Amino acid sequence: MIILFYAIALAGTYFFIFRRKVFDFVSAGFFGCVIYFMPGFHGLLFNPYYPDDFPIEPASFATYAVWIVALAGSIITGLIYNPGQLSPADRAEMLRPFTFPLSDIVINIILAFAFVIALASGGSELFSPDKNDVLSVQDRSIILFAILSQASLVLFLVQKKYIAAIPSILAIAFLVFVGFRAELAISALSIIIWIAYRDGIMSFFRVRNLIPMVGIVFFLFAYKFLYISVKMGRWDMVSQTIQDSQFLSSIFLKSEPFITQSILNEVIARDFRISIDSFFMSF
């Protein structure tokens, strides 16, 4: 199965980069699957009873089947739905600013108010190195602040309004500091999709786009192992972690895709089932 997984992943990558004429949500969905199914290239997953160890459990046949079906489904969807490249007029329209200076100021004022409210609501727990303490105070005000931070950052950067984006950049930096990496990941992904849709996926083979993209991906994987030391102000521990001989392998082999797919593998291995009633009760 691992050979078939490699074949479909590589074929899909070739199709979405070199054959399909537009990069959109379907393309993003495929590459998202490739990233989250990264354990399929390695073949091993975590043993859920020994989460601190490196992956040691082989991915089951059924787990590979789930990955392959999801990748194949994305490719088939891309074949069926292919709107073609943007016309020069549409691309020119995307290059034009679509917010005004006054609206930019209003957005940043709202963001500042949201930050103050979130800070007052979360209090000192937001600065705790224990993620459970941070999650315990994550209420609607913090969620709203996170959403505003993402939306405003994407809004300003796709228009190349770098000065107006400074408050949003600081807001995302604060969220990353307290332990929320998802906001940075979603913002970066949104900007990547926008640029790739406007200029084509091949534009990310240019150094000016490739280096920031690789840098952000590496940071998102690495910061998981550093943020506790950063919040404690223990820069000596940060340096020690980075210099560890297993640091580079750990940030990928102990990353979220391996953890998430290990859960899938264990659910399949144990033939875990729930009643259909549970689906309706969740609403």
Task: Please state, rounded to an integer, the average pLDDT across all residues of the chain.
Answer: 87
pLDDT tens-digit readout, 119-128 = 998 888 888 8
Q: What pLDDT score does 52 carry?
A: 67
Q: What pLDDT score does 87 carry?
A: 76
Q: What pLDDT score does 169 carry?
A: 95
Q: What pLDDT score does 151 carry?
A: 93
List all residues 6 or more positions away from 195 whose beta carbon is below 8 Å from its beta carbon. 158, 203, 204, 209
- Stretch 220-244: mean pLDDT, rounded? 86
CB count, 10 Å around CB of 151?
16
Q: Which two tokens stand for residue 206?
A: 């240019």
Q: Please tell me the distance from the alpha carbon of residue 157 to that of residue 151, in angstroms, as a whole number.
A: 10
pLDDT tens-digit readout, 242-269 = 888 878 878 887 788 888 888 888 888 8
pLDDT tens-digit readout, 127-164 = 888 888 888 888 888 899 999 999 999 999 988 899 99
| Nearest in space to 252 (alpha carbons), one of 217, 209, 216, 200 | 217
pLDDT band at 283 (very low <50, low <70, confident <90, very high): low
List all residues 6 or more positions away from 223 whose beta carbon is below 8 Å from its beta carbon. 176, 181, 230
pLDDT band at 14 (very low <50, low <70, confident <90, very high): very high
Q: Please tell me the distance from the alpha carbon of residue 138 to that of residue 126, in angstroms, as a whole number.
A: 9
SS3 content of the chain, % helix, strand, coil (to 5): 75, 0, 25
Which range is least confidently modeled, 44-53, 136-145, 177-186, 230-239?
Answer: 44-53
CA 56 to chain centre: 25
- Stretch 83-107: mean pLDDT, rounded? 82
Q: Which two tokens stand for residue 253?
A: 């082999």
pLDDT tens-digit readout, 15-31 = 998 888 788 889 999 99
Can you give the pTM of this predicted structure?
0.81
The three-state DSSP-derived secondary structure of 190-242 is: HHHHHHHHHHCHHHHHCHHHHHHHHHHHHHHHHHHHCHHHHHHCCHHHHHHHH
Asked whether the predicted pLDDT for residue 229 surpasses 90, the reply is: no
Percent of the chain with pLDDT over 90: 35
Q: Please tell me the distance from the alpha carbon of residue 262 to that of residue 267, in angstroms, as a whole number.
A: 9
Asked whether the predicted pLDDT for residue 200 surpasses 70, the reply is: yes
Q: What pLDDT score does 130 carry?
A: 83
Q: Please tell me the distance from the alpha carbon of residue 190 to that of residue 102, in angstroms, as a whole number.
A: 24
Q: What pLDDT score does 278 carry?
A: 75
Q: Which of residues 246 and 190 earns the better pLDDT score?
A: 190
| Nearest in space to 35 (alpha carbons), one of 273, 275, 258, 270 | 258
